Amino acid sequence: MNANGNTQGIGSLGCFCIDCEDPAALAAFYLALLGGKITDDDPEWHELTLPNGAVMAFQQVERLVPPRWPDPEAPQQYHLDVEVADMDAAQDAALAAGARIVDERGREPHGFRVLADPAGHTFCLCRSAPAKLADRGRPAP
Residues 104, 86: one domain? yes
Domain count, the chain: 2
Q: Model confidence at 38, in pLDDT bands (50, 70, 90)?
A: very high
pTM, two decimals, is 0.71
Task: Identify the helix (H) or strand (E) that includes residue 114.
Answer: strand 112-116
- What is d(CA 58, CA 21) in angstroms, rounded to the nearest whole number? 9
Closest C-alpha among 56, 63, 54 to residue 20 = 63
Give a yes or no: residue 5 inside a domain: no
DSSP output for 46-88: EEEE-TTS-EEEEEE-SS-----TT-TTS--S--EEEEES-HH
Domain at 57, CATH number:
3.30.720.120
Give me the pLDDT at residue 39, please. Answer: 96
pLDDT cut 90: percent of the chain above it: 42
Neighbours of 2 (CB within 10 A): 7
Q: Is residue 70 part of a domain?
A: yes
> Do the domain assignments include residue 6?
no
Asked if residue 95 and residue 48 are part of one domain, the reply reads no
Alpha carbon separation from 32 to 19, 50, 74 (Å, rounded): 18, 11, 27
